[in-house]
């Protein structure tokens, strides 16, 4: 920063009173105060470098090195082995399915709360609950779903008893792709509700009325008015949900142990016991994860700024 | 469109909204009901709170729960001391830096926690310059810093929005005119004014930290998250009781944010 702000000038001018003839000294004082100004954010940057940037950078660089520290791209070629590729593919499927499902259902719930002409208490209740449920992830969530849809879970038992449906003979398992997706939806839907409600609030009532006056139906309204306005927000939020699911470890680990090979679980096993038998391959695996979550978050930020521009 | 048709369309909208809400409520409430029901099935043929009694009496539960609360409180203190002065300073003197700081505070949402802790284990191992994983106390410090990093997005956002709602510059100048030094300005002027932001950041941090599994497990510390996982893998009824306890804690943290947030809004009116 070249020009010190008002407060700093007031403080420094006191000692360098004798005016323009002491130009260099004033400049020195100003430079000193600028240094002091920067000192105020030093702890934050020190912390960010030590506990966020450096650890990540270390892995990112390690991904391009062999065990002796020489530059190599071999790690990325080695990533193309069957277990790793399969892990990325299952991770991608679970994240995409839970993001798409979470976005669609979250949008539906938010729509019902904002525009469904429901009693007034519904909306604040939904928002509060979403705040809780979007944070209710990890090990306890896995337990809750085992109690619900596990082999002796409540829903499984009730379905068998009253509707004579044996859930587990249909090939469903809480430890599988569909079970994991269903579990992830529990924090994905509320997150979508929280993100998309402000966007729905941005839809003006007059647009709907104008559409009605022109003889448009609900279909016309959504097809030609609401969705064209909403799509950047909705797509952006979907990308955010995708990244959210891709990085999650605890829920999947508590639910399936290591029976379902998704990337975070492979990485977890690699950190614990070097299951890939190559440290630097682990770094490459981590780099892949950061790339995926980074790209989808980048997409979210870009689409959100687009949506904000459109609203102006 | 005729009025009758409009009325019909509105009725349809309302019916559709009700259906969406009811199905949604079923999906969200069923797992909770099932968990409560399951946690009370421990004694054969009758509902009881045996699972809760066993869990609450388990010394490992008490130890890990207490440990996680302590780590959470430390993470909140460190986080507040790191974020509030920085956000204040940026608002007052370095507004150009705001995008940079915002970007950094959002990074923990982009970089998965497992990647961050992987980096910790490589950088701070016992043969490095800063061997934070060499002793238990040092690893505790690293765990607290990890939690601060994890919660940086929540803490920064809530403090920053509270800070933007007050006129920082006038407050600072007024305090300076009255002869206040920097510590006084920071702790007796700025902190009380962003109290609501600090509190909501603190409760969010607490809700995240209390059941956190990945970082604690990989740093090999006896926190509540790894304990939950261990019990989940070995017991039948206790895990559901623990899940309910964890849910109540999350619910309480979020409820307290609402209480303090709205209390603040009322006070300002």
CATH code for the domain in which residue A236 is found: 1.10.3720.10
In B165-213, where does DSSP find H-type helix?
Answer: 168-177, 182-184, 191-193, 195-210
Residues of B in contact with A91 (CB under 8 A): none
- Say if B187 falls within a structural domain: yes
Q: Within an 8 Å CB–CB cutoff, is residue A145 touching chain B?
A: yes
Q: Within an 8 Å CB–CB cutoff, is residue A42 touching chain B?
A: no
**Is a pLDDT exceeding 60 seen at residue A174?**
yes
| pLDDT of res. A47 | 93
Interface of B with A in 224-253 (CB under 8 A): 225, 228-229, 232-233, 239-240, 242-243, 246-247, 250-251, 253
- Cα distance between residue B94 and residue B98, in whole Å: 7
Tell me, what CATH number does B165's domain have?
Answer: 1.10.3720.10
| pLDDT of res. B13 | 80
Residues of A in contact with B247 (CB under 8 A): 136, 140, 144
- Say if B183 falls within a structural domain: yes
pLDDT band at A13 (very low <50, low <70, confident <90, very high): very low
Taking CB atoms and an 8 Å limit, are B34 and A155 in contact across chains? yes
Taking CB atoms and an 8 Å limit, are A148 and B30 in contact across chains? yes
- Say if A130 falls within a structural domain: yes
- Cα distance between residue A221 and residue A203, in whole Å: 11
In which domain, by residue range, is A185 found?
A: 75-311
**Is a pLDDT exceeding 60 seen at residue A230?**
yes
- Say if B28 falls within a structural domain: no
Taking CB atoms and an 8 Å limit, are B112 and A249 in contact across chains? yes
In which domain, by residue range, is B248 found?
A: 59-268
Of B44 and A192, the one with more pLDDT: A192
- Say if B77 falls within a structural domain: yes
Residues of A in contact with B149 (CB under 8 A): 51-52
- Say if B191 falls within a structural domain: yes
> Tokens in use for B31?
């797992």
Of A34 and A210, the one with more pLDDT: A210
> In b/e form, how buried is each residue of A155-173, taking b as 16+ CB within 10 angstroms?
bbeeeeeeeeeebeeeeeb
Range of weakest confidence among A5-9, A48-52, A182-186, B129-133: A5-9
Distance from CA of A311 to the nearest CA of B (A): 21
Instruction: Calculate the average pLDDT of chain A.
Output: 80
- Cα distance between residue A61 and residue A67, in whole Å: 12
Residues of B in contact with A218 (CB under 8 A): 9, 13
Q: Within an 8 Å CB–CB cutoff, is residue A289 touching chain B?
A: yes
- Say if A87 falls within a structural domain: yes
Torsion region of A277: left, alpha or beta (phi above 0 gives left; psi -120 to 50 gives alpha): left
- Say if A4 falls within a structural domain: no
Distance from CA of B48 to the nearest CA of A (A): 16
Total structural domains within chain B? 1
Q: What is the mean pLDDT of residues A7-11?
A: 37
Rounded to 5 degrees, what are φ and ψ at A135? -100, -5
DSSP A91-106: HHHHHHHHHHHHHHHH
Residues of B in contact with A146 (CB under 8 A): 239
| pLDDT of res. A24 | 60
pLDDT in tens, chain B (269 residues): 567 776 777 788 888 888 888 988 888 888 889 888 888 887 777 788 888 888 888 888 899 999 999 999 999 999 999 999 999 989 888 888 888 998 899 888 888 889 999 999 888 887 777 777 778 888 999 999 999 999 998 899 889 888 888 888 888 888 888 888 888 888 888 888 888 889 888 988 988 898 888 899 998 899 998 998 888 888 778 888 988 888 888 888 888 887 776 544 444 43
In chain A, where does DSSP find H-type helix?
Answer: 6-13, 23-39, 42-48, 54-62, 74-78, 82-115, 122-133, 139-149, 154-162, 177-201, 205-213, 218-220, 227-246, 250-256, 263-273, 279-311
- Say if A65 falls within a structural domain: no
- Cα distance between residue A52 and residue A43, in whole Å: 13
- Say if B24 falls within a structural domain: no
- Cα distance between residue B36 and residue B33, in whole Å: 5
Q: For tokens 């497990």, what's the residue?
A: B217
Taking CB atoms and an 8 Å limit, are B242 and A55 in contact across chains? no
Taking CB atoms and an 8 Å limit, are A41 and B89 in contact across chains? yes
Under DSSP, is residue A65 helix (H, G, I), strand (E, B) or coil?
A: strand
**Which of A50, A138, A195 is the best substitution to test chain B (most B C-beta atoms within 10 A)?**
A138
| Nearest residue to A129 (alpha-carbon basis) of A113, A143, A149 | A113
Condensed to tens digits (0 to 9), the pLDDT of residues A99-134 reads 999 999 999 999 888 887 788 888 888 888 888 888
Total structural domains within chain A? 1
User: What's the whole-model pTM score?
Assistant: 0.84
Condensed to tens digits (0 to 9), the pLDDT of residues A20-62 reads 445 566 667 667 777 778 888 899 999 999 999 999 998 888 8
Q: What is the mean pLDDT of residues A13-18?
A: 39
- Say if B44 falls within a structural domain: no
| pLDDT of res. B149 | 93
Range of weakest confidence among A65-79, A80-94, A140-154: A65-79
- Say if A42 falls within a structural domain: no
**B197: Cβ–Cβ under 8 A, 6 or more apart, which residues?**
B158, B159, B160, B161, B162, B163
- Cα distance between residue B25 and residue B19, in whole Å: 10
| pLDDT of res. B266 | 42
Q: What is the mean pLDDT of residues A260-267?
A: 84
- Say if B27 falls within a structural domain: no
Q: Within an 8 Å CB–CB cutoff, is residue B131 touching chain A?
A: no
pLDDT band at A226 (very low <50, low <70, confident <90, very high): confident
């Amino acid at each position: 920063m070249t020009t010190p702000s008002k407060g700093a000038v007031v403080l420094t001018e006191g000692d360098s009173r004798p005016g323009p003839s002491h130009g260099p000294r004033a400049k020195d004082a100003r430079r000193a105060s600028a240094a002091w100004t920067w000192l105020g954010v030093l702890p934050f940057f020190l912390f960010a470098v030590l506990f966020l940037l450096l650890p990540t950078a270390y892995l990112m660089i390690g991904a391009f090195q062999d065990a002796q520290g020489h530059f190599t791209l071999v790690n990325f070629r080695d990533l193309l082995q069957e277990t790793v590729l399969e892990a990325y593919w299952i991770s991608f499927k679970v994240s995409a399915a839970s993001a798409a499902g979470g976005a669609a259902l979250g949008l539906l719930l938010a729509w019902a709360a904002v525009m469904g002409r429901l009693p007034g208490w519904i909306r604040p209740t939904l928002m509060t609950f979403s705040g809780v449920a979007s944070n209710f992830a990890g090990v306890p969530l896995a337990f809750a779903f085992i109690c619900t849809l596990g082999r002796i879970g409540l829903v499984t038992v009730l379905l068998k008893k009253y509707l004579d449906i044996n859930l587990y003979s249909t090939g469903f398992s809480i430890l599988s792709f569909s079970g994991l997706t269903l579990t992830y939806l529990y924090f994905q839907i509320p997150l979508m509700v929280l993100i998309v409600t402000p966007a729905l609030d941005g839809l003006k009532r007059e647009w709907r009325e104008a559409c009605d006056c022109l003889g448009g139906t609900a279909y016309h309204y959504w097809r030609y008015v609401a969705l064209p306005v909403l799509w950047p927000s909705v797509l952006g939020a979907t990308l955010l949900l995708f990244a959210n699911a891709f990085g999650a470890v605890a829920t999947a680990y508590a639910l399936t142990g290591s029976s379902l090979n998704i990337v975070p679980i492979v990485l977890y096993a690699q950190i614990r016991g070097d299951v890939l038998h190559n440290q630097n391959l682990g770094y490459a695996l981590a780099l892949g994860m950061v790339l995926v979550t980074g790209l989808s978050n980048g997409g979210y930020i870009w689409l959100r700024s687009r949506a904000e521009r459109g609203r102006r | 469109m005729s009025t009758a048709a409009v009325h019909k369309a509105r009725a349809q909208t309302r019916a559709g909204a009700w259906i969406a809400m009811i199905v949604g409520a079923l999906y969200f409430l069923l797992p909770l009901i099932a968990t409560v029901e399951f946690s009370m099935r421990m004694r054969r043929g009758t509902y009881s709170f045996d699972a809760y009694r066993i869990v609450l009496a388990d010394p490992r539960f008490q130890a890990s729960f207490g440990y996680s609360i302590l780590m959470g409180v430390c993470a909140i203190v460190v986080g507040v001391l790191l974020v509030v002065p920085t956000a204040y300073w940026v608002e007052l003197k370095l507004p150009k830096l705001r995008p940079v700081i915002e970007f950094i505070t959002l990074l923990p949402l982009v970089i998965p926690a497992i990647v961050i802790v992987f980096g910790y284990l490589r950088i701070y191992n016992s043969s490095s310059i800063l061997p934070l994983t060499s002793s238990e106390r040092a690893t505790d410090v690293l765990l607290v810093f990890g939690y601060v990093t994890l919660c940086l997005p929540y803490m920064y956002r809530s403090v920053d929005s509270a800070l933007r709602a007050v006129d920082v510059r006038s407050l600072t100048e007024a305090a300076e005119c009255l002869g206040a030094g920097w510590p006084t300005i920071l702790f007796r002027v700025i902190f009380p004014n962003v109290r609501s932001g600090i509190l909501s950041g603190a409760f969010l941090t607490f809700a995240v930290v209390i059941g956190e599994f990945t970082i604690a497990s990989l740093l090999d510390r006896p926190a509540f998250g790894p304990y939950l996982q261990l019990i989940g893998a070995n017991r039948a009824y206790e895990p559901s009781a623990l899940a309910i306890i964890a849910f109540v804690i999350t619910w309480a943290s979020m409820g307290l944010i609402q209480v303090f947030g709205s209390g603040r809004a009322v006070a300002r009116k």
